């Protein structure tokens, strides 16, 4: 079988399963197996080896069960960089890129100290900690997650991007494993904020395959955030910043929640490119 024939077969079956972007996904699967870019897949001529055909069929069968493409490929692009992912971590999303864009914009715009200690709470695949380490080369980053399996993925990504010497890893249930000392100039988090009652309506790629621990924010989606909200100020230096990704319907909730703590000021919610509330920011007084 030739490359174009296998590609077209994949497109047809993905479409039949109502999977969006069937053309892109079929070409990405083939490119992964042939070690070619998507563009070069279509220039590949000649008969494909049986091993490639068999692997493609195996990968396609996984995708047809709605397993996310990123888990099948073992990789997801984020911040224009490749990151290793598996079923133990949430697949990085554009909303988290926006979180990092705003963090860096605020720090650099206000000429904040960029060489201090930073904390990433709920690190997952490590994208936040690693990008901060890359963008702020004088900083030391602490990566915190309750999942040992997730920390293994984050450590692998830190090594891949050359920042393992500046990112430390702590397994902890949020801040329960951190001494209450004002050590950090910056705390960033992408916590679980999906409302538990909405899981039945999520895409199967999310509800059936991504780790529920990284998604489930409890009833209403705010239970996890409420658990650690009162503790964040205790680990921030005076003037330190806290940034958090939130659900599009949680703006009033987080503003009310953090307004109750006298230790914070400068509470702000930033909108995403669709005009939806997405990033929360508070400053330690």
- pLDDT tens per residue across span 191-236: 999 999 999 999 999 999 999 999 999 999 999 999 999 999 999 9
Q: Do residues 20 and 5 make contact, with C-beta atoms less than 8 angstroms apart? A: no
Q: pTM (2 decimals)? A: 0.93
User: Model confidence over 231-252: pLDDT tens digits?
Assistant: 999 999 999 999 999 999 999 9
CATH label of the domain that carries residue 47: 1.10.8
- Same domain? For 150 and 257 the reply is yes
Residue 13, exposed/middle/buried by CB under 10 A (0-12, 13-18, 19+)? middle
- Same domain? For 186 and 242 the reply is yes
Instruction: Write out the residue range of the structural domain in which residue 36 sits.
Output: 3-65
**Residue 70 lies inside a defined structural domain of this protein:** no
- Tokens for 197, please give them: 């009652």
pLDDT at 20 over 90: yes
Q: Give the C-alpha separation, 246 to 269, whole Å.
A: 9
**Residue 31 lies inside a defined structural domain of this protein:** yes
User: Model confidence over 32-60: pLDDT tens digits?
Assistant: 999 888 878 887 877 899 999 999 999 99
**Residue 71 lies inside a defined structural domain of this protein:** no
- Same domain? For 238 and 124 the reply is yes
Residue 152, exposed/middle/buried by CB under 10 A (0-12, 13-18, 19+)? middle
- Same domain? For 60 and 89 the reply is no
Q: Count of H helices and E strands in the chain?
A: 11, 9
């Amino acid at each position: 079988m030739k490359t174009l024939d296998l590609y077209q077969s994949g497109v047809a079956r993905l479409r039949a399963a109502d999977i969006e972007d069937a053309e892109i996904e079929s070409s990405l699967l083939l490119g992964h197996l042939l070690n070619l870019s998507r563009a070069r897949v279509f220039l590949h001529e000649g008969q494909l080896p049986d091993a490639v055909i068999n692997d493609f069929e195996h990968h396609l069968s996984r995708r047809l069960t709605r397993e996310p493409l990123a888990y099948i490929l073992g990789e997801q692009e984020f911040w224009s960089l490749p990151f290793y992912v598996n079923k133990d971590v949430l697949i990085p999303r554009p909303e988290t890129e926006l979180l990092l864009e705003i963090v860096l914009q605020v720090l650099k715009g206000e000429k904040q100290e960029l060489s201090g200690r930073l904390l990433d709470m709920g690190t997952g695949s490590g994208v936040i900690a690693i990008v901060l380490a890359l963008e702020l080369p004088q900083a030391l980053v602490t990566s915190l997650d309750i999942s040992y399996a997730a920390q293994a993925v984050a450590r692998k990504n830190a090594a891949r991007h050359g920042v393992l010497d500046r990112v430390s890893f702590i397994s902890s249930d949020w801040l329960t494993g951190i001494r209450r000392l004002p050590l950090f100039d910056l705390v960033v988090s992408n916590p679980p904020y999906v409302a538990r009652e909405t899981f039945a309506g999520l895409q199967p790629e999310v509800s059936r395959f991504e780790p529920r621990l990284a998604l489930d924010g409890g009833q209403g989606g705010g239970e996890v955030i409420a658990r650690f909200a009162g503790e964040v100020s205790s680990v921030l230096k005076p003037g330190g910043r806290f940034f958090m990704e939130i659900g599009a319907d949680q703006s009033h909730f987080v503003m009310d929640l953090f307004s109750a703590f006298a230790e914070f000021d400068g509470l702000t919610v930033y909108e995403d490119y669709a005009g939806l509330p997405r990033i929360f920011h508070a400053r330690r007084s």
